[in-house]
Amino acid sequence: MLSQKKIVIIGGTTGIGLSAAQAFVRQGAQVVVLGKDKETSIRALEVLGRGGHVLTDDATEEGMAEQAIAKCLERWGGFDGLYHVAGGSGRRFGDGPLHELTLEGWEHTLQLNLTSLMLSNRAAVRTFRQLGRGGAILNMGSVLSFSPAPKFFSTHAYAASKAAIEGFTKSIAAFYAPENIRANVIAPGLTETPMALRAVQNEEIMQYVRTRQPLDGGRAGQPQDLDGLATLLLSDAGSFITGQVIAVDGGWSTG
């Protein structure tokens, strides 16, 4: 489905991003992935082989997405799609319930999840317009932005940042549709990634998650559960889809 597509993945050296990078390469794409950690970047390069190129930098820094896209153009001779996966919890910086939320926690969480995404999306749109051929953007949301779980997942800055991603993505999808630039959001439920260790290692939380995500016997999502939809939305098969928020959550948002 992705034959000859050139794709940049921001946050592509672990978890959901790395799984997607592997899936995209299997589907015929050539990818550039940006990761923050040197060790995971080295492992990602080994896994991806000749279909991948790995950069190590901080996605929250201005100019990093431009560098990744420039490398995609230089290495693979084109740029067709952006998948922004990078983000995470601000819990250890002070995110939490509003009455406990610190200013540092708020600002760090928004920078991590929302500012980094704005920077990558801006770089992608500018490049698509320069190339004059359109392109696809796929952003990472969360079911917590529209289906809260207050007992176990009460990080209010995180929920706000993910809700903002939906509004931001719909807005740019509407604005750039006449230029064939598409933008969509995947909203996963609890997915087993490094960020989710607190939850997946807590049996009480996992008992709750199994009731919220009852598909397949009730379980946490796996990174590869998102790969099929991501492939579709970045491929020509998804060329008439834009401005959508699609949950991949095992049934979380139906309850």
- State the catalytic residues: 158
- Strand spans (E) along the chain: 6-10, 30-35, 52-56, 81-84, 135-140, 181-188, 245-248
State how far the Cα of 61 lies from the Cα of 51, in Å rounded to an integer: 26
- Cβ–Cβ < 8 Å for 82, 182: no
- Cβ–Cβ < 8 Å for 200, 220: yes
State how far the Cα of 228 lies from the Cα of 20, in Å rounded to an integer: 9
- Strand spans (E) along 93-180: 135-140
State how far the Cα of 19 lies from the Cα of 25, in Å rounded to an integer: 10
State how far the Cα of 74 lies from the Cα of 238, in Å rounded to an integer: 26
Neighbours of 113 (CB within 10 A): 26
- Tell which residue, 124, 175, 166, has the closest CA to residue 144: 166
Q: How would you class 122 by CB atoms within 10 Å of its CB: exposed for 0-12, middle for 13-18, buried for 19 or more?
A: middle
Q: How would you class 63 by CB atoms within 10 Å of its CB: exposed for 0-12, middle for 13-18, buried for 19 or more?
A: exposed
